[in-house]
Structures are given as structure tokens and as C-alpha cells.
Amino acid sequence: MTVSPVPAQPVSRRADRRLDTAWLAGVCSGLAAHLNWPVLVLRLGFVLLSASMGLGVGVYLVLWLALPLASEAPQAPGIEAASRGGLRTVPDGHRVPADLGVMSAVMLLGAGLLWFVEAAGLGAPAPALWPALAGVPGLMLIWWQADHIPNRSMTGLTGWRRWFAPLIAHWSRIVRILIGLFGLGTAVGLTVMALPPLPEGMRTLVVLGLAVLGLLLAAAPWIIRVRRSLATIREEKMLADARADMAAHLHDSVLQTLALIQRQASDPKAVATLARRQERELRAWLYGETSEAATVKAALVDSAAEVEDDHGVDVDIVVVGDRELAADLRPLVQAAREAMVNAAKHAGVAKVDVYAEVDHDTIEVFVRDRGSGFVLEEIPADRMGVRGSIVERLRRSGGNATIRSAPGEGTEVRLEMKR
């Protein structure tokens, strides 16, 4: 019996804006790629709508704000992982030169349609047309500038500098923004001049309202861009922390078990026991079925017992005080366990001392051995035991790890977490 292959279903992707093939903001390029339409058809459609009371311009500006840039749109996890690992070519973001002949023809067509509609008396009245012709290009110039500020210029900045530093990073940006604001100011002035006679107080309120509205419109893309950049930075940090936590857990569990299996390779029964236990632990961790201890003291005692069973050394543990083992305290227990494992494996001693103090505000754990010791700076960068599973793990959780060691003088690991 032959089985016919199932055709792959296309993966839907959110519409975005493509600056690499854009004439202005990439709205038509992004919609064409999303809808699989010719981009010229969409551009002509916007031109035709713009000639009719400016409807196309309004729709374009709304889509300009609503659609994210292609570089900011989320990717599928597999594609993102392949790009990060160098298994997929990442586009370099170079802009494709526009066809000046086609662009000129479309612009002339739009100007001709606008003239025809206005001459026929079917367009916008003059009091609305001239402010629009002055304000819309100025607004587009300011928004265009917001699209061409790279995310890296916002990285590392905090407070007001994150909002305003990219605006004044180069004199050309300042000039463009000033030109855009001049266009908006001209539009406000023309609108005020076209108003019917009003009381002085009412006229002042109208002028202030139009000025505030113009500034809000000018600032809209900057605010949206900064918010999206902050959200992207937070997501990247969360993903990096999740990957680091997973790497630390795999180091503490699977890799440690593999090391034990190598040491006991001559004992098939012991190897099978280790493999079965590690399989149960890994499945429980993957599916969230772990039954952890309820208190900090119980978790530390269980960790010490596991190290004694796995490595055949005595772990003398003393815990003063106790409290509930909350989720934010588990990294402290995991780091303490890794410190016990390192002492049992590398110190060359038969006994490891563990002392812990648990109170309401602070938890401290000391893991000491009188073994061979080491030089922290000489540990290779690819070794995860100390840096990844102890120091970095505790730092990501808001704690602090201090390691004192010297060759021939033993090692002391101090773990501290304040609440």
C-alpha cells in the first residue's frame, strides 16, 4: 500500500512593513508579500483612494502605525533558532533601489488625479486641502525618520535618554524633524486662518488643541517604536534566561549522570540503575511532574543525600532555621547542590561540610571542603559547573555567589539570597 504525501500547509504570518523594497514606509510592500499580490497594484490602489477626499492617505497612515517592521515581527521558533545557530542565512537588510521611472509615473498619475478631482469640484474644499498638503508630507517625514533608527541605538539607554537620544544622534535627523515640524506648523496655521470668526478664548483653545494634536501625531511612531523595542529587549532577556536555566539544569542532571556512568562502566547493574533514575527525573522535569521538598531545609537535606548516594562521600549538613521553598528560592538550592557535586567530584576528599542559615530576610549557604582547591580564573570558559550552574544561575535570580579557593587550601562557596 502506497501512502500519498500530505501537502504542507502554508504557515500564516502577520502582515508587516518591508523597508528593503519600500518607496516610503513599506506598507504596500508588506501587504503585497502578505497577500501575494503585485505591489504595483496596491500602490495604484492607494493613489486612487488618495485622490478621493484623501481616503488612501488616511488608510496608509493608520497602517503605517499598526503594522510592525519586518525586523520587529516575531518569527517561528525553529526559524529563529536556526538563524541564531548560523544554520540559516539571515538577510542583510540592504535596500533594493526603487525604479525611478515607475515611481515618477505613479506620482504624476496621483497629481493628475488630484487636479482632475479638484477641478471637477469632487475633492476636498480648499480650507482642508492646503493644510493637508502642508501637514501630511511633514508628518510622513517625521515618521520616516522614526523607521530608520536602528534598535542598537536604543540598547543600553535608560530613562529619558532612551526616548530622546536617538532623535539628536545626528544633525541630519534634527534637520528632518525640524522640517517636518515646520510642515505641521504650517498646516495648523492655515487651518486657524480658515476658521470662522470666534471669541478670543475659544480661538486660543482651538489653536492649542490643534498644536497638541499635531505633536501627538508626530510623536506616535516614536512612542510605538520605543515600546516595541522595550518589549523585544524584555523577550530576548527572558529567552536568554530560559536557555541558560535549561543548560544549567541539563548540566546538573544529564551530564552529571553521564559522568557517573563513565566511572561505573564496568558495573552494568549500576549503569542501568543510573540510566533509569535519570530518565524518570528528566521526564518529570520536562512534564512538570516533579515532587520537590516543601521547605528549604528539606530540599538541602535531600540534595545532600543525593550527592552522598551518587558520589560516595559524606556530606555533613547543618541548617539553622527554615522556611517554605518558594519558586524564587529553588535556584539557591540547585546552586548549593551543584557546589556539593563539584566538591565531591573534584576536591578529592571524603567529607564535604554544608552550613545554612535561613531567616525571614536572608538565606545563606556555605559549602566547604579541605581538598585540592583550584584557581577560578583558570577554569575554561566552556565549563558550566561553576559559572553557569552556580554563579550565573544565582545572579539571574537576584542572589550572589562568592567562591574562595586556592590550590591545596580547599574551597568555600558562599551563596546568599535576600528577599
pLDDT tens-digit readout, 71-81: 655 555 555 55
Q: One-letter amino acid identity for 412?
A: E
pLDDT tens-digit readout, 177-201: 888 889 888 888 888 888 888 788 8
Q: 10 Å Cβ neighbour count for 316?
A: 11
Three-state DSSP class for residue 25: coil
CA-to-CA distance for 285 and 248, rounded, in angstroms? 13
CA-to-CA distance for 181 and 262, rounded, in angstroms? 71
Q: Residue 354: what pLDDT?
A: 92
CA-to-CA distance for 323 and 293, rounded, in angstroms? 11
Region 297-303: mean pLDDT is 87
CA-to-CA distance for 401 and 205, rounded, in angstroms? 60
Better pLDDT: 68 or 245: 68
Q: How confident is the model at residue 353 (pLDDT cuts 50, 70, 90)?
A: very high
Is 60 exceeded by the pLDDT of residue 291?
no
pLDDT tens-digit readout, 113-142: 888 887 887 777 777 888 888 888 888 888
CA neighbours within 13 Å on the CB side: how many for 172?
A: 5
Q: Residue 156: what pLDDT?
A: 58
| Of the ranges 50-59, 119-128, 263-272, 285-294, the best mean pLDDT one | 50-59
Better pLDDT: 292 or 350: 350
Q: How confident is the model at residue 8 (pLDDT cuts 50, 70, 90)?
A: very low
The percent of residues above 70 in pLDDT, for the chain, comes to 80
pLDDT tens-digit readout, 204-258: 888 888 888 888 888 888 778 777 777 777 777 787 777 777 777 677 677 777 7
Q: Residue 3: what pLDDT?
A: 47
